[in-house]
Amino acid sequence: MFDEPMFAPLLDLDALGEGRFVAPPSPDKGERMFGGQFLAQCMAAAHATVADDRRVNSLHGYFLRPGDVDLPVDLEVEVVRDGRSFSSRQVLANQRGKELFRSLVSYQVPDESPEYTAAPMPDVPSPDEVSYTYDDFTLELSGADVWHGSDRPVDIRYVNPPTEPRGVPVTETQLMWMRIPESLPNACFVHQAGLAYLSDTTVVDHVMLPLGMRWQDSGLEGTSLDHAMWFHRPARADEWLLFAQDVEATGGGRGLASGRLYTRDGELAATCVQEGLMRWNTPNTT
What averages of pLDDT result for each successive group of 10 residues across the chain (286 residues)?
A: 81 96 88 93 98 98 96 98 98 98 98 93 95 73 50 89 80 94 96 97 85 73 92 98 96 95 98 91 49
CATH number at residue 74: 2.40.160.210
Q: What is d(CA 174, CA 170) in angstroms, rounded to the nearest whole number?
A: 9
Is position 185 within any domain? yes
- Catalytic residue, chosen from 224, 226, 238, 245, is 224
- Catalytic residue, chosen from 28, 74, 155, 200, is 200
Q: Which residues contact 108 (CB under 8 A, 6 or more apart)?
A: 54, 55, 57, 85, 86, 87
101 in Cβ contact with 62 (< 8 Å):
yes
Cβ-based burial of 174 (10 A; exposed 0-12, middle 13-18, buried ≥19): buried
Is position 239 within any domain? yes
Question: Which alpha helices (DSSP H) does the chain contain, by range?
Answer: 35-47, 134-142, 188-199
- Tell me the residue ranges of DSSP E strands in 164-214: 174-179
Is position 234 within any domain? yes
Domain range for 143? 8-110+128-280
Q: What is d(CA 168, CA 121) in angstroms, rounded to the nearest whole number?
A: 27
Q: What is d(CA 183, CA 176) in angstroms, rounded to the nearest whole number?
A: 20
**How does pLDDT run across 151-164, given as a tens digit for each residue?**
788 999 999 887 77
List % helix, strand, coil for the chain (3-state, nearest 5): 15, 35, 50
Mean pLDDT of all residues belonging to the chain: 90
**How does pLDDT run across 66-113, given as a tens digit for each residue?**
999 999 999 999 999 999 999 999 999 999 999 999 999 999 999 999
Is position 41 within any domain? yes
Is position 3 within any domain? no
Is position 119 within any domain? no
Determine whether 26 is an active site residue.
no
Q: What is d(CA 189, CA 79) in angstroms, rounded to the nearest whole number?
A: 18
Please write down the HEC assignment for all residues of 11-74: HCCEEEECCEEEECCCCCCCCCCCHHHHHHHHHHHHHCCCCCCCEEEEEEEEECCCCCCCCCEE
**Backbone φ and ψ of 38, nearest 5°:** -60, -45
| Predicted model pTM | 0.92
Determine whether 85 is an active site residue.
no
Is position 21 within any domain? yes
How many domains is the chain partitioned into structurally? 1
Is position 98 within any domain? yes
Determine whether 192 is an active site residue.
no
